[in-house]
Amino acid sequence: MHHDSPVPPLRMARVRAILHELDIDALLFLDMKNVRYLTGFTGSDGALVIGEKQEILLVDGRYTNQARKEVEGPRVFEYKEKIDGIVAILSDGSLRSVGFESQAMNVNTHLKLTEKLGALKLNPMSDQIGALRAVKDEKEIAYIRRAAEISCEALTAVRDLIKPGVRETDIAIELDFRMRRCGAEQVSFPTIVASGANSAQPHAQPGSRAIENGDIVIIDYGAVYCGYHSDETCTFAVGVKDKKQEEAYSLVKTAHDRALEAVKAGIPCVEIDRIARDCIETGKLGKYFTHGTGHGVGLDVHEAPRIASNSEMVLEAGMVLTVEPAVYIPDLWGVRIEDMILVKEDGCEVLTKVSKDFTVLH
Amino acid sequence: MHHDSPVPPLRMARVRAILHELDIDALLFLDMKNVRYLTGFTGSDGALVIGEKQEILLVDGRYTNQARKEVEGPRVFEYKEKIDGIVAILSDGSLRSVGFESQAMNVNTHLKLTEKLGALKLNPMSDQIGALRAVKDEKEIAYIRRAAEISCEALTAVRDLIKPGVRETDIAIELDFRMRRCGAEQVSFPTIVASGANSAQPHAQPGSRAIENGDIVIIDYGAVYCGYHSDETCTFAVGVKDKKQEEAYSLVKTAHDRALEAVKAGIPCVEIDRIARDCIETGKLGKYFTHGTGHGVGLDVHEAPRIASNSEMVLEAGMVLTVEPAVYIPDLWGVRIEDMILVKEDGCEVLTKVSKDFTVLH
């Protein structure tokens, strides 16, 4: 399932362009999602060095065979200790300066490498590969689309469980099982099923609380397909149509819809956040919208671009991102409506398939 | 399930002892497992500052309510941007030097903090909290013991699936489902079910390969209970008793047994690794044992101490660790036998409960 296609050569060409742009001799990658993006290697540990004339994937003995099978271009080098392996590769005499992902290298590794590399200079890079990864190609979009379909199919299958007496964990366990049965290789993140007052906590973990009549139930979940994630949140009412809940839902839905209407290539991410936030503030619930409006989705479930008040990126066609306005009324309930969308030149396509109309179950 | 007990005050006292020992004014924690260990906060993002007279848990708006509910001692401070929040707390005028976990802070964060903190000095610490966490208290041991029981119960329930015609993924999905049904809040890591030649890859991902007669099947799996992990690997033969497979199994089992016999407080970790490795080398399969002999298990599935040829730690009573010798014959099959054990003054207790005798299924 992972090994069906070689990595597009365009990606490596773009990395070489970064080399020239920064005027450095090589790049060292430690973020394993970036390594996968650039080489196709799916292992959980390793490093990648790309120079003008070299592409070397460094792995430990657990991954040597797997790397040789998965990777086409780069040479596979086996290390016993990662730091020593990196030093051995970088100390070939031809390199004066090496760029690295400053967000993926910890200070301990940096101290050790600096000491062992002597005169060779390590240059922290901003997240330039993250910016490349934000714009998906057709194959990536197909994987994400499939992940979203799988998650929708699974939620549809467990919808009947969302009723009084059923525990949050029971729903989460069944939903995760169904996603994998439907073809997910993993779930995107620990599924959130938050009922009643738990729904007022944006990152509640499902617990033993049983659903009651009058509850709000928030389900935030996603599937992974060929390494690519989906992310979607549905908010249901159970048994009773409560006026305050319905009003809050309607407000959040309006914020969601207006944000989606504004999405197209060329719009700054801050603008999408502002539109959703303004809408919720107009409804006097602004202080209860306590997080950003969305984020990119791909090999990571959270990646560039962020859709927040201090985001610096501009939307481009091919970006995949979530739009997830919300309100959380402390100790009572919350509402979050999250779709994952594909940015197009003149609009967007919604990839997540569960209806976001206000729904009272049972 | 997570909030049943306050954090033992001993832990905070030990952190204060580190403050004095290093002669610094405060410690900054970013490793969320360390934060959980010291405060009880189970959220996935935040920071903790501990000074002589202050304990402050920093979280973003998603986690404020949860933090106030879970945490007893420390004050909860809400930030909008983590870096700015940390700077605000550390710049109270009373601090000259702050220690931080050099393995948990990335270079990007370090650069930003250094710039914004001005004269305040950031001191990289070695993994001293990791060393504290290596020795478990009774409650932690009870959680790990329960996690191991849950995983054994689940494997027993799916054993009948390990037969010709069943796909690796089908077994993995069912095993994960059973672990959670039996009380696991999560699985410890993506379950490995590796059959036939896939079993020669130490970190194979389960795929669509169906089991065949004559296969070796390696299952590496674990459950999480109250935040604590289990880790166990079983290797089965399917249908046919193959002499080479049985000999290799017997060799790995002997290595496993000898290592376990040697475990007790006071023994260096390198010694345990040497005993297992020597045994496999005596059987002429040394070059096929391509990883360390084991690792500590707790809030992380991999934590201190490492049981490897360059480990510097010495076993202490209360440590929980894996012993997992293995051989991988490229393109043919592999054998890995992993138990998780509790180190005692004069020996050890095996916490994982599935029999490790050579077993031919069906």
Domain A135-361 superfamily per CATH: Creatinase/methionine aminopeptidase superfamily (3.90.230.10)
Q: Cα dist. A146→A149, A349, A355 in Å? A: 5, 14, 17
Q: What angle do CA A184, A209, B183 make, to 5 degrees?
A: 55
Q: Which of A68, A65, A70 lies closest to B203, judged by CA?
A: A65
Q: What's the CATH number for B9-133?
A: 3.40.350.10
Which chain B positions have a beta carbon within 8 Å of A207's beta carbon? Answer: 1
pLDDT above 80 (res A2): no
Q: What is the ipTM of this complex?
A: 0.92
pLDDT above 50 (res A1): no
Taking the CA of residue A236 and the nearest CA in chain B, the distance in Å comes to 20
**pLDDT given for residue B339 in this prediction:** 98
Structure tokens of B343?
Answer: 């180190």
Taking the CA of residue A149 and the nearest CA in chain B, the distance in Å comes to 19
Q: Which residue among B63, B100, B180 places its CB closest to the CB of A173?
A: B180
Name A76's Cβ contacts closer than 8 Å, sequence gap at least 6: A56, A57, A59, A64, A67, A68
**pLDDT given for residue A65 in this prediction:** 85
**pLDDT given for residue B1 in this prediction:** 40
**pLDDT given for residue A4 in this prediction:** 53
Per residue in B57-95, pLDDT (tens digit) is 999 988 998 899 999 989 999 999 999 999 999 998 889
Q: Find out whether B288 and B329 touch, Cβ atoms under 8 Å.
A: yes
Give the span between the Cα atoms of A41 and A82, in whole angstroms: 16
**pLDDT given for residue B5 in this prediction:** 62
Per residue in B18-46, pLDDT (tens digit) is 999 999 999 999 999 999 999 999 999 99
Which chain A positions have a beta carbon within 8 Å of B62's beta carbon? Answer: 201-203, 290-291
Class of domain A9-132 (CATH, top level) = alpha beta
CB contact under 8 A, A1 and B65: no
Mean pLDDT of A91-107: 94
**pLDDT given for residue A362 in this prediction:** 81
**pLDDT given for residue B362 in this prediction:** 81
Name B164's Cβ contacts closer than 8 Å, sequence gap at least 6: B210, B211, B212, B213, B215, B238, B239, B362
pLDDT above 90 (res A148): yes
Residue limits of CATH 3.40.350.10 in chain B? 9-133
pLDDT tier for residue A92 given thresholds of 50, 70 and 90: confident
Q: Which residue among B105, B177, B291 places its CB closest to the CB of A173?
A: B177
Per residue in B222-281, pLDDT (tens digit) is 999 999 999 999 999 999 999 999 999 999 999 999 999 999 999 999 999 999 999 999
- pLDDT > 90 in chain A, percent: 91
pLDDT tier for residue A33 given thresholds of 50, 70 and 90: very high
CB contact under 8 A, B111 and A124: yes
Q: Which of A344, A357, A277, A267 lies closest to A313, judged by CA?
A: A267
pLDDT above 80 (res A25): yes
Q: Which residue among B103, B169, B186 places its CB closest to the CB of A190?
A: B186
For A197, the 3-state DSSP assignment is: helix
Nearest chain A Cα to B181, which residue?
A: A173
Name A357's Cβ contacts closer than 8 Å, sequence gap at least 6: A253
- pLDDT > 70 in chain B, percent: 99
Structure tokens of A329?
Answer: 């009324």
pLDDT tier for residue B143 given thresholds of 50, 70 and 90: very high
Mean pLDDT of A251-276: 98
pLDDT above 60 (res A256): yes
CB contact under 8 A, B44 and A203: yes
Q: Which residue among B2, B103, B173 places its CB closest to the CB of A181?
A: B173
Per residue in B165-177, pLDDT (tens digit) is 999 999 999 999 9
CA B84, B86, B88, B94 dihedral sign is negative
Residue limits of CATH 3.90.230.10 in chain A? 135-361
**pLDDT given for residue B228 in this prediction:** 98
To the nearest whole number, what is the mean pLDDT of chain A?
95
pLDDT above 50 (res A28): yes
For chains A and B, CB pairs below 8 A equal 113
Q: How far apart are the first and last CA of chain A?
A: 39
Name B40's Cβ contacts closer than 8 Å, sequence gap at least 6: B2, B3, B6, B7, B70, B71, B72
